[in-house]
Structure 1
Amino acid sequence: MTDEQLYITEKPSVALALADYFERHGTPLTKEMGHYINTEKNIVITWLYGHILTAYEPEDYNEEWKTWWKAPLPMVPDKFLKRPAPQYKDHYKHILLLLKDAHTVINAADPDREGQVLCDEVTEGHVEGKIYKRLLLNALDDTSITRALEHMEDNEKFKKLYEAGQTRENIDWLIGMNLTRFFTNKAKDAHIEGVESIGRVKSPATNMVVERELEIENFKPEPYFNIFAYLNINGQTIKAEFETKKKVKILSEADAIVSHCSGKDFTVQEVNNETKEEKVNQLYSLDTLQIDADKVYGISAKDTLAALQKLYEAKLTSYPRSDCKYLPESQRKDAPEIAKLLNDKLAMEIGLIPVQANNENLNNSTVFNDKKITAHHAIIPTKNVPDLKTLKDTEKQIYLLIVRKYAGIFVKPYKYTITNVQGKIEGYPFKFRCKKVIDGGFTLYEPKKESAKEKEDIELKSPLATGQRLPVTKAEKEAKTTEPPKRYTEGSLIQAMTNAKSDDPELSKILTKVKGIGTPATRADIINKIIKVDKHIQKKGKSLYPTVKGRTLIEILPNILKKPDYTAMMEQKLTGIEEGTYTRQQLLKDVVAFVQDIVGSDFKIINKQYPCPKCHNGYLQYRKFKDKYTGDMKEIFFCNSCGIGFPAEDQKPKVVICPECKKGLLIEKKGKYGKFYGCTNYPDCKYGIRKPEYDKLKGSKF
């Protein structure tokens, strides 16, 4: 063994950035097959391709677990195992050879739970007797790499983080493999085809979209009227709104108010001036950036992350999968230099950032807060400022969102005065609001089309006093209809996942602490999977709609699997593993018991595809059985409420309306001379035919 240092990065692009850094700082490296190495052969950099190890499938543990409908549930491996993915098998062997020769191993994967797992699972069992360090790269610019290399830590410090990450994978295997099979088989029994893919995060996410759709479908719009009066204030026209706790819903009432107010005076009763300030107190985390990118540009969560990853690999922005909105205090001194570099190339695009010495706004910014730093810090631009022409459209849009947010910490707060005026016209209460901007602050960096403040309040040009009378130049009504809640977009679904709540106050506290369901690193991928892989949701324009498959899934799942409560409990315990207050063994035991309770239950799925045409209360359920008289296999759809049965034809119930009375339905009956098909409206209708004649009739469509 030599004094060789082996760096293992998460991706080839990070290995290249690290090799480039060493070369520019006096240690040139040469790229060889599967790694970079310096002349002295004491610095080696290799890379992963994300997770190069993949979990065993059920049949890899036990041949009996191969067949979905025969495998006994729950399937619980004695020990969870992984193997290299076929496409990475040779590279995995190469890493093991490099590990054998290394004296010091450095985990240089992404600085989070997932990064800890994907490197440690490769090195596990191959670093005994070696020095094992952790390099936490929050960005790939020179300053960040230098700082990270100077502050490497012992990888042993992150052992619990690795355990928590492993346990999370094992939990998802136990729940996903067992419950997907269980509910798919139960659905199959109910004649519902397809795989019902279950996940502890994606099922609650799907449920959010389904519940929102149900709210929209059950919403009953109601007409109402807005009433406005236009006031003349020293030549300036101001629009005042009728103030009422209850909406005006009757046309005659609206007309009466308009008639009474037309040509009269508005008497000022109260004037309130309030000066407000808004400043950039937080920078972007991944989820808040995805929300804004969706809102401003309609960029999907997955595309935002992909663009951000490219910017990070190009050393233009810091680590992309951050859940943090703050910066360490040590970076306050770096900010003016970053701002100067941004001014040099982007002043024409966003405006100048004030970079004078002793910038009071920067010095007092609460964005710099060591107590709020997690494994990462907020997403910010680095000292490497690009020529915007070299960026693709989406990359440019995401980059400028980050730059504009960062620029906001250098300027005075956005300061404005709100004037709220209340008064009466002929006894009817009206109100209006005006706004005067004192300092544009950070909004100066926002193009108008991107501003969240799309509706600017009009500025009141003349002061008002109590008792002052203002002429009404016009009064009018506006017919409106109450609107249902809006459908989720990818951005608003990420926001809902981040802010997920429970009916249980204690679980809600946990969800707030763990920042909802999923993580910034996984939410975009989860949404993408339930749209493109599971097909539980479909995207039309920016809006998300549940599919029939998604609605069926949510209908059959027990509440604990479609609400965020269970994920909250799991995240609390995973955090406990990280902190050493809970063990991996305890949590896996809890999850096995949870899965056992579900798969051991007498759970039945009611297929609601075919409502009963007879009783209108139940649903027709498919059954296949052997006729005890003839020995033939029969396929029948029985109502789970009234018990009526209809023959199956092309795997659908054949429902024939009586040709005689046009009211009843033809069903199989036993008579004196054997079986026949008769009307359910008997004895009022005595129509009946034999099977050959019945077979010629067409069933009605559902």
Structure 2
Amino acid sequence: MKKVVSFNKELADRLCKTLSSQSACLTSLTEEDKKQACPKGLSGADIAILASKKWGYTAQQTLDATQSLYEKKLITYPRTDSSFLPQSQFGEAGEVLDCVWKNNPDEVLWQKANPALKSRIWNDQKVTAHHAIIPTRHKGNRSVLKPEERNIYQAICQNYVTQFFSDYRYKLKTALFEVEGEQFVATGRTVTQMGWKVLYQDQQSDNDHNTEKEDAVFPISLTEGMNVLCHEVTSETKQTKPPEAFTEGSLIQAMINIQKYVSDTRQKALLKETDGIGTAATRAAIIEELVRKGYLERKKKSVISTAIGQLVIECLEGILTQPAITALFERRLREIQDGKEEENRFLASIYDLINKEMEKAFTRSYTESHNSVLNRRGVSQSKVDKNLSETTFACPDCSKLLVRREAWSSTKKNPRYWWGCSGFPSCRTMFFDKNNAPDFSSK
């Protein structure tokens, strides 16, 4: 039975008591033939998302592995945003499959692929500058590959082989029951053809294409008008949870679909015209640079913002932090390409915008932005003052004393600190903490 959501606990408990052990009448039973086509091809972002979810690889690790496979001539160009292939390559499918089988001799099921089948991946209209990532006709030795390369190569090969299997087909049954005047819906399926899903049966928990919840299997004897026993009705108390922290894979997905995180309708429309933040060739580097600068940090598989990163956003607090600026820049770049905009004029406007926004950020007081972060986190200033520790370390830029401050990501088990100049905001020098002293190499 499908679950019912109720915010009235008394009503839910009363229904459970009233409906349990009562007769249920099957008022409607329908059956529908359904099918599910095989997944599309893999773009650079798809590989990064898959590798992050399945093996916990960073975006840069995945990009390095795919680049190495490309240089070894085992896969096609990896920095692509496309999930489709040109029609002209369909004629080479037999040769590619033959090479894939030889490079992956243990994958017996792969050899059942039918080169004559043509999936939706072959579509000239949806191929961009580069097509989806696929294996090449080059015979290689998997034993010499690094673990990351071997895993990613196998995933790329498996996706390609999947294109030559039939659709997954099943019969979807929907039953409507009435119990004491209340209606309940139950769904179930009967698989009639496994098709391409036969390749993923051992990867249910890891594979993106098998995350949908399977419906229950219906008894064959169900017929309309029959009465059955509603054995038990139960209720569960649950509560909403905050969004999970980003992994590198989900962060890349968010960068691509950034419009989902914008509420302004005009900005949403603008962002839909773009490929999001960055490209398949630059997203990994963007994340790495933010980590290197200390604005983001990795905690196991999660990527979270640091205190310094939050303060940077707090201080900027303008157009430079809004995703829509990406769409505006791309629109003007297209105008340059079409001869409607001058390159020098565009660059001058960017320099002017950045200078104005930085002036605003520099004129804002540290206390204003700092207290805003504290209020948002529910931390009192008196508690923070206890974490400030003046020492004899001098600022190398202005000679004033440096102050050690506790990072907002700090915990009792894992205390974290950073150092800032006491002359702030006139002097904005900052350092990471290393062994209770400023790490002057981190400036």
TM-score range, shorter chain: 0.7 to 0.9
The DSSP-based 3-state class of the residue aligned with 1:376 is coil
**C-alpha displacement of 1:443:** 1.6
Letter in 2 for 1:243: V
Corresponding residue of 1:491? 249
**C-alpha displacement of 1:536:** 1.4
Separation (CA, whole Å) in 2 of partners of 1:489 and 1:551: 18
Corresponding residue of 1:605? 365
Alignment of structure 1 residues 98-497 onto 2, 5 Å: 240-244=1-5, 247-250=6-9, 252-280=10-38, 282-346=40-104, 348-349=106-107, 351-354=109-112, 359=116, 361-362=117-118, 365-446=119-200, 447-449=202-204, 450-452=206-208, 453-454=210-211, 455-462=213-220, 464-497=222-255
Corresponding residue of 1:568? 327
1:529 alignment partner, one of 272, 281, 289? 289
1:401-451 Cα shifts (integer Å, max 9, x gaps):
111111121111122222232323223332222122222222222233433
Separation (CA, whole Å) in 1 of partners of 2:215 and 2:203: 14
- The 10-residue stretch of structure 1 (314-323 or 268-277) with the greater mean CA deviation from structure 2: 268-277
2:166·2:195 contact (CA, 8 Å) conserved in 1? yes
- The 10-residue stretch of structure 1 (306-315 or 260-269) with the greater mean CA deviation from structure 2: 260-269
**C-alpha displacement of 1:498:** 0.5
Q: 1:309 to 1:470 in 2, by over 3 A?
A: same
1:584 alignment partner, one of 328, 343, 368? 343
- The 10-residue stretch of structure 1 (399-408 or 572-581) with the greater mean CA deviation from structure 2: 572-581
**C-alpha displacement of 1:347:** 5.1
**C-alpha displacement of 1:503:** 4.4
Separation (CA, whole Å) in 1 of partners of 2:345 and 2:132: 34
2:311·2:370 contact (CA, 8 Å) conserved in 1? no
Letter in 2 for 1:403: C
1:268·1:421 contact (CA, 8 Å) conserved in 2? yes
2:172·2:187 contact (CA, 8 Å) conserved in 1? yes
1:553 alignment partner, one of 307, 312, 326? 312
The DSSP-based 3-state class of the residue aligned with 2:106 is helix
**C-alpha displacement of 1:609:** 4.3
Letter in 2 for 1:548: A
2:70·2:78 contact (CA, 8 Å) conserved in 1? yes
Q: 1:618 to 1:368 in 2, by over 3 A?
A: same
The DSSP-based 3-state class of the residue aligned with 1:481 is coil
Q: Greater relative contact order (Cα 8 A, min sep 6): structure 1 or 2? A: 2
Alignment of structure 1 residues 2-17 onto 2, 5 Å: none
1:418·1:436 contact (CA, 8 Å) conserved in 2? yes
Gaps of 5+ in 1: 1-239, 623-648, 654-702
Q: 1:438 to 1:597 in 2, by over 3 A?
A: same
Separation (CA, whole Å) in 2 of partners of 1:652 and 1:322: 45
The DSSP-based 3-state class of the residue aligned with 1:553 is helix
Separation (CA, whole Å) in 2 of partners of 1:586 and 1:305: 35
Corresponding residue of 1:666? none
Separation (CA, whole Å) in 1 of partners of 2:357 and 2:141: 57
The DSSP-based 3-state class of the residue aligned with 2:169 is strand
Separation (CA, whole Å) in 2 of partners of 1:261 and 1:618: 52
Separation (CA, whole Å) in 1 of partners of 2:26 and 2:338: 61
Separation (CA, whole Å) in 2 of partners of 1:514 and 1:610: 36
Q: 1:407 to 1:264 in 2, by over 3 A?
A: same
**C-alpha displacement of 1:464:** 3.1
Corresponding residue of 1:646? none
RMSD over aligned Cα atoms:
3.2
1:371-405 Cα shifts (integer Å, max 9, x gaps):
22222111000012434333222112111211111
Alignment of structure 1 residues 606-685 onto 2, 5 Å: 606-607=366-367, 609=370
Q: 1:591 to 1:300 in 2, by over 3 A?
A: same
Corresponding residue of 1:24? none
Q: 1:335 to 1:426 in 2, by over 3 A?
A: same
- The 10-residue stretch of structure 1 (457-466 or 347-356) with the greater mean CA deviation from structure 2: 347-356
The DSSP-based 3-state class of the residue aligned with 2:32 is strand
**C-alpha displacement of 1:618:** 11
Separation (CA, whole Å) in 2 of partners of 1:348 and 1:587: 55
The DSSP-based 3-state class of the residue aligned with 1:539 is strand
Separation (CA, whole Å) in 1 of partners of 2:54 and 2:298: 18
Alignment of structure 1 residues 5-44 onto 2, 5 Å: none
2:316·2:357 contact (CA, 8 Å) conserved in 1? no
When normalised by structure 1's length, the TM-score is: 0.50
Provide the aligned length of Structure 1 versus Structure 2: 379
1:77-121 Cα shifts (integer Å, max 9, x gaps):
xxxxxxxxxxxxxxxxxxxxxxxxxxxxxxxxxxxxxxxxxxxxx
Separation (CA, whole Å) in 1 of partners of 2:64 and 2:404: 45
Instruction: Say yes or no: does 1:514 pair with 2:270.
Output: no
Q: Percent identity?
A: 29
Q: 1:295 to 1:355 in 2, by over 3 A?
A: closer
Gaps of 5+ in 2: 386-400, 406-443
